[in-house]
Amino acid sequence: MLAIADVAGRATITVAEAAELIGVGRSAACEAARRGQLPTRRVGRKLLVPVPALLDWLSRNPENAPAARVSTQTI
């Protein structure tokens, strides 16, 4: 299982990794990205999730992730 500490030092993660991190399926994360609900950046054909933007999004929208996965630890 992917944890916030596992991605804290990375600039970006894939949509699939973001899905695992927030506890939703890949297709749900892709749909959220398509709707603009999940912060993403496109690089060529690849869709990436900037880790700082994702962490900020999670801190502003804790209802978007299961409480057990949202950590209050300093990163």
Separation CA 42–CA 49 (nearest Å): 9
Residue range 9-24, pLDDT digits in tens: 899 999 999 999 999 9
Enter the pTM of the model: 0.76
The 8-class DSSP code of residue 49 comes to E
What the chain holds in terms of domains, given with CATH numbers, is 4-64 (1.10.10)
The CA distances from residue 32 to 10, 11, 64, in Å, are 21, 20, 11
pLDDT digits (tens, 9 = 90+) for 21-74: 999 999 999 999 999 999 999 999 999 999 999 988 888 866 655 443 444 444
